[in-house]
Structures are given as C-alpha cells and as structure tokens.
Copies of this chain bind each other. A is one copy, B any other.
Amino acid sequence: MNSRTDRLNTILRSLQSGSPEIEASALVSDDGLMIASALPQHIDEVRVAGMSATLISLGTRATSELAMGGMEQVLIKGEKGYAVMVKAAEGTDLIVLTTAEAKLGMVFLDMSRAANEIKKIL
C-alpha cells in the first residue's frame, strides 16, 4: 500500500545498519515536517524535524548572504557527536546524528548515496 514510505524507511534503516556511528536518520521537508525517520527512542521526532528546518533555513541564509551559492550541507559538531544535513530530493533534507567517533568522510559518502536513492523515489 504505502510503498514510497516503505522504500524511504528502508533507505534510512540501511544507512544506519551500514554505519554503526550513525545513531539516527530522518528525511524532512524544507518546512520541518517529517517524511520518514529512523530515530532511537530517546530522540523526539518533532524536535528533530524542527531543528532540521531551522538549520537548513539558516544554512540557506548564510550561503546567500556570504555569496556562496545554493546551500548543500550543514554540519554541527558537539562534544558528543555530529548532526549533518544534506539536500536530498527537491524540497527535502536528509539529517543524521552520529557519535563523536564517526569518520566524517564515510558519513558524507553514505549520506550522498542515500540522498541519490531518495531522489529516485520522490
């Protein structure tokens, strides 16, 4: 029935199973509504969606004001890990949360592949 959602969830779950450092992943719309997610219980879905939208909108403003062209990626590093967002299909953004030990190059590579798969579905 709901095959697009199923396929998106499969992409997010395989993103996480392939990279143990990725603790949570979600696909949100540019206005902060959750499209699909694979989040651990202690992370609130609504909060992740809202933060993603805020970060994307700020990233877009920063790239515009600093004449950096269209926004492609936002990364925040905290003591306990990373939050990384990349543009996925038009109007949608893929966000992942990782542990502090994550290898960023690998995370970017896996996210880029997942974003390309998402573009084929949406």
**A contact set with B: CB distance below 8 Å:** 42-43, 47-48, 51, 54-55, 58-59, 61-63, 65-83, 97, 104
Contact = CB atoms under 8 A, between A and B. Distances in A.
A74 B71 contact: no
B83 A78 contact: no
Stoichiometry (number of copies) = 2
A48 B67 CA distance: 11
Given A63-B76, A79-B72, A80-B68, A54 B48 contact: no
A59 B47 CA distance: 15
Nearest to A108: B104
Nearest to A67: B80
Contacts of A43: 66
Given A55-B58, A62-B51, A69 B80 contact: yes
A59 B71 contact: no
Given A42-B67, A51-B61, A73-B77, 4 more contacts: A62-B83, A71-B77, A73-B76, A75-B75
A18 B79 CA distance: 28
